Structure 1
């Protein structure tokens, strides 16, 4: 549930919530935002392994400053219900953290604007490996790929329906799809 809180925050802010470079930096960023945990907010915290390190004490949860109810333009950023869900997802104590079922039934998901049904979601063309491979080849063609492409154009390998004639120059080690034809690379 903690991870869902981090993902929710990142989707809202379009940047990592706790972007630490090291483990200690990560913890420092968490503590600066949510306050340093203690026995009051997380019973048993002092018994956790590694807690003997003296972290800088940050008293307050500053999460609301990162996700205000309205922006400078007056447009809503994160409603009180949305902030409540985010805060419950990012609760230190796992025993007090919101459950998956409670999160799914949270009032934020019933606020206006309501979530759209799948039919109203935009669709995007699929990005197949073949499309990526072709774009990569157009940017910086590999000499072997270039040779294979030339041989395909000259008919040395044949095309789709004619079957595959093996070139004596190439021994197949890797099979790659190029357009509708199969090309064998060294």
Structure 2
């Protein structure tokens, strides 16, 4: 979902498995510290959209949304900005999308 909305891979440019793991751990730290605010860098995504992303990307299995729970989420009932507005978000030079 994050990659579709941003228009670029979540961890673009990872050099190897260790680099990818380090980037995933950075995201985990941000999500623990900032909770759903970790995705405020996605312009136009509502609070409900950020909440859905947090639920889908939760590192704790008992807190992760199931597919059925995700499809039933309130984000699908509200009107967000058009997807085209997300695709205009600038990519960061380090290969990360500006989520944080």
**TM-score, normalised by the number of residues in structure 2:** 0.65
What SS is found at the alignment partner of 2:33? coil
CA shift in 2, pair 1:112/1:30, >3 Å: same
Structure 1 distance, partners of 2:76, 2:30, is: 30
1:28 and 2:22 matched? yes
Deviations 1:28-85 (A, max 9, x none): 1122223189xxxxxxxxxxxxxxxxxxxxx734732432xxx4xxxxx200000000
- What's 2:98 paired with? none
Deviations 1:128-155 (A, max 9, x none): xxxxxxxxxxxxxxxxxxxxxxxxxxxx
Runs of 5+ consecutive residues of structure 1 not aligned to the other structure: 1-7, 38-58, 72-76, 114-186
Structure 2 unmatched ranges of 5 or more: 81-100
Alpha-carbon distance in structure 2 between the residues aligned to 1:36 and 1:78: 18
Q: Partner of 2:10 in structure 1?
A: 17
Say whether 1:84 aligns with 2:84: no
Q: Residues 143-186 of structure 1, C-alpha deviation per residue, up to 9 Å, x if partnerless? A: xxxxxxxxxxxxxxxxxxxxxxxxxxxxxxxxxxxxxxxxxxxx
Matches within 5 A, 1:120-159: none
CA 1:18–1:90: 2 relative to 1, 3 Å: same
Please identify runs of 4+ aligned residues in structure 1 that moved more than 3 A.
Answer: none
From the two aligned structures, give the one with the greater strand fraction: 1
- Matching of residues 27-66 of structure 1 within 5 Å: 27-35=21-29, 60-61=33-34, 63-66=38-41
TM-score by length of 1: 0.37
Q: Are the structure 2 counterparts of residues 82 and 32 from structure 1 closer, same or farther at C-alpha, using a change threshold of 3 Å?
A: same
